[in-house]
Amino acid sequence: MLGRDMTNLLGARGEDFTPVTRADLDITDLAAVTELVGAVNPDVVVNCAAWTAVDAAEDHEEAASAVNYQGAANVAAACAKAGALLIHPSTDYVFDGHASTPYAEDAPTAPAGAYGRTKLAGEQAVRGALPDASYIVRTAWLYGAHGKNFVKTMLRLAGNGTSPGVVADQHGQPTWTADVAAQIMALIDRSAPPGIYHATSAGQTTWFGFAEEIFRLYHSSVPEEQIQDQEQKGDSERVLVSPRPITTADYPTPAKRPAYSVLAHDAWHAAGITPIGDWKEALTRAFPALLTK
C-alpha cells in the first residue's frame, strides 16, 4: 500500500528510482539484498516491505520477525555497505497504548503484541546499523488506494447497505499512504536530521468516528438520482445506513490493539517540515482515489 504510493510520487516527480517488489527481492535474504543494493547503488532506500498481518503475527512471531527484524537489519546492513540513507517505516504498535496524551518520538516503547515487538526490533536494528543515516518513520491506521484497508472495507459495506459495528473505544489518527510518501520525500528534500519521525495525520478519532466520516463522504458522493431511484424501489436503507458504535470487548481479536495510539509530531517542526494535516481533510482529499479503486 505505501510502496505503491511512494513509487507513484517518485514517478510523478520524475525521480530516478528502482521499484522493487517481493518477487524481485526477498528482504530476508541478506546476500540478495546486498547484491541488489550494491548493483543499484542508490542514494536512498525506502523499505516499504513488512509483515503487516497483525493478528497472524501472534501465532507466527518468528516469521514476522524474519521480515520485520531480520529483513530490516539486512536492508540496513546493505545500505551501510553501499553508503545509502535508509528510510524505514514503523508503527504506533511500538507503544503500549496506555497514554492519554500524544506519544513523543522519544517516548518509552513497550509493544503489547508480536507485531509491535518485531517492528521495534527492526527499528533498533536500523538505528544500530545506521545511527547517522536512517529515518524511522512511524505511521498508523493507514489507508490507501492500493491494497486492503479499513476505508475500502467500510466503502464495500456502505455500498452493500450494511450497517457495521465499529469499535468506538480505540483512539488514533487515520493516515493516507500518499501523505506518508510526501513526508518521506520531505525528509530527503530537506536533508532532515536522522532520527524518529511520526508520519500520522493531525487530530484524532476512534475507528467508529473514522467509519462515520467514510459513510458520510460515501453518501455525499452517491448521485442524488441514484438515491431517489433506490428510494422509489423501497431501497432507501441501502444508501442511508450508518455504522454502529461497539466496544473492543465486543470485537475480540488475537492481537491486543492499543486503546490510545495518538502520536506527536514535534520532530517535523524541529526539522522545519510541516507535518501531515487534519485526518478528515486528508480523507476528503484521498476519497476520489479510494472510490475508484
Ligand X SMILES: NC(=O)c1ccc[n+]([C@@H]2O[C@H](COP(=O)([O-])OP(=O)(O)OC[C@H]3O[C@@H](n4cnc5c(N)ncnc54)[C@H](OP(=O)(O)O)[C@@H]3O)[C@@H](O)[C@H]2O)c1
Q: Is 214 a residue that touches ligand X (CB under 6 A)? A: no
Query: With respect to ligand X, which residue has the nearer C-beta, 3 or 194?
Result: 3
Decide if residue 276 touches ligand X (CB under 6 A). no
Nearer to ligand X, 65 or 192 (CB): 65
Q: Which of 115, 135, 143, 197 is catalytic?
A: 115
Q: What is the grid cell recorded at 205?
A: 478519532
Q: Which of 52, 70, 134, 183 binds ligand X (CB under 6 A)?
A: 52
Please give the full DSSP string across 104-119, using - where no structure is assigned. Answer: PTTSPP--SSHHHHHH
Out of 75, 77, 142, 282, the only residue in the binding site for ligand X (CB under 6 A) is 142
Q: Which stretch binds ligand X (CB under 6 A): 141-149, 210-218, 261-269, 272-280?
A: 141-149
Q: Show the cell assigned to 198.
A: 511520526
283 binds ligand X (CB under 6 A): no
CA distance 171 to 200: 13
Report how far residue 114's alpha carbon sits from residue 106's, in angstroms, rounded to the nearest whole number. 21
Nearer to ligand X, 144 or 243 (CB): 144
Ranges within 247-266 binding ligand X (CB under 6 A): none
The reply on whether position 86 binds ligand X by CB under 6 A is no
Query: 289 to each of 157, 208, 213, 215, 284, how far by Cα in Å?
Result: 18, 22, 16, 16, 10
Count of residues that interact with ligand X, criterion CB under 6 A: 23
- Does 67 participate in binding ligand X (rule CB under 6 A)? yes
Instruction: Establish whether 115 is a catalytic residue.
Output: yes
DSSP alpha helices (H): ranges in the chain?
A: 2-12, 30-40, 54-59, 61-65, 72-82, 114-129, 150-160, 177-189, 207-221, 224-232, 236-240, 266-270, 279-292
- For the chain, the C-alpha Rg in angstroms (whole number) is 20
- Residues 6 or more apart from 55 whose CB is under 8 A from it? 253, 254, 255
Residue among 70, 94, 118, 119 that touches ligand X (CB under 6 A): 119
With contacts defined by CB under 6 A, name the span among 97-105, 139-147, 161-169, 261-269 that binds ligand X.
Answer: 139-147
How many residues are given for the chain?
293
| Least CB distance to ligand X at residue 111 (A) | 12
Backbone angles phi, psi at 139, to 5 degrees: -130, -175
Rule CB under 6 A: is residue 2 a binding residue for ligand X? yes
Q: Where in the sequence numbering do the catalytic residues fall?
A: 115
Binding site for ligand X (CB under 6 A): 1-3, 22, 25-28, 48-52, 67, 71, 89, 91, 119, 139-142, 147
